[in-house]
Amino acid sequence: MRTDRIRLDDAVLAAIVAVASVTLFWLYGPAQQRLDGLRPPDLLGGVLVALACVPVAARRRWPLAALCVGLALETLPAVSGYGMGVVGLAGLVLLYSVASNRGLAMALGALVLAALTYTLTAVAGLVRAAGWNEHLMVAVLLVAVWGAGRSLRLRRAYLEELKERSARLERAHAADTRAARAEERSRIARELHDVVAHHVSVMTVQAAAARRVLGSDPDLAREALSAVEHTGRLAMTEMRNIVGVLRTDAGAGARAELGPQPGVSDLPALVEQMREAGLPARLATEGEPRALPAGVDLAAYRLVQEGLTNSLRHAGARARAEVTLRYGPRELEVGVADDGRGAAQEELSGTSGHGLVGIRERVALYGGILSVGPLAGGGFEVRAKFPLKDGQ
């Protein structure tokens, strides 16, 4: 469709150029005939002038070939003794078309061809001029038309480059957006896993204890069930806070209220919760506590939460756990160790479940070093070191 439109536009332009050229031929031919003794305008001369404008119809499909044919046809009126010679309107249009639609080398070749054709016809006496000033005007006209065509091509190339650059930026922005969304979803998935795994493990242990003492000690069973209810409510609150970030399409009035993320300051409450769930645990803090980066603060809390949850699930009934929090000059060391029988082999390798995998990702994200595995004297340990910058 676009090609047909281009052909039609060029055909119309060729007709307009032909009408203008024939008009100039009839208007200025008599004056030149009286001055230079040339043939007066007639039908044959008009046909030759119009014929030289036909290549304009192909100026964008084959611009250089059209220029060559056009320059050859424009010499016919001069050879036949008429006053119109090269370079006429058709030659200027064709020279402009080559300059605006082809590369620099071809455009320079077209300019040289047009100038050489005019020079040869002038030397042969086919073009009569009053003096060198007229030849100079033709040269200036050729260069001006050629320069206008090159300027249009450069501007067109510049606009295309701007469009391409804009498209690249849009694609890069879309890729960054997709990557950010994927990272955010991964973060939310880790948060949900940590919250659910921890609280469900605690609830499972409490429910099992309630079942065992339900007949013999109803009061103790009631306390265990109350702990299950309390833990369930905590889990629901944390899940609601995390999932609230996904409600981006909700209005400001319906936006979820997000609480602060937990950190190392919440570890005493976490250890106390594990004690209530049946895992004897203690927290040991070494060094001078200080403010931590938000990401490291949350990662340390989640590591302890995951380590205590694994101890609760796998260490055994008589196991004890110890949480170590050590503040160094340039690092924070966090560890959870128990003296139980340790986790299953698949938990050690991290091939089943996402807990330890998520912890590895968190620690690596902040440039930390994670060590996970059994202890020499029995038990299991999860320990990480987070680098801290000066002033942190």
| Residues 98-113: tens digit of each pLDDT | 888 888 888 898 888 8
Interior angle at CA 74, CA 103 and CA 19, nearest 5? 95
Distance CA 371, CA 385 (A): 9
CA-closest candidate to residue 127, choices 78, 69, 68: 78
Distance CA 242, CA 275 (A): 26
What per-residue confidence (pLDDT) applies to 324? 94
Q: Is the pLDDT of residue 171 over 50?
A: yes
Distance CA 296, CA 361 (A): 12
- Of residues 234 and 344, which shows the higher confidence score? 234
* Domain residue limits, the chain: 2-128, 263-392
Assign 334 a pLDDT band (cuts: 50, 70, 90): very high
Read off the pLDDT of each residue in 186-197 and give the average, rounded to a whole number. Answer: 68
Strand, helix or coil at 205? helix
Q: In this structure, which amino acid lies at residue 297?
A: D
| Per-residue three-class SS string for 32-71 | HHHHHCCCCCCHHHHHHHHHCCHHHHHCCCCHHHHHHHHH
What per-residue confidence (pLDDT) applies to 116? 86
Q: Is the pLDDT of residue 373 over 50?
A: yes
Hey, what are 159's tokens? 């606009």
Q: What percentage of the chain exceeds 90 in pLDDT?
A: 11
Q: Is the pLDDT of residue 96 over 70?
A: yes
Distance CA 84, CA 89 (A): 11
What per-residue confidence (pLDDT) applies to 387? 92
Hey, what are 122's tokens? 């002038």
User: For the structural domain made of 263-392, what CATH number should be given?
Assistant: 3.30.565.10
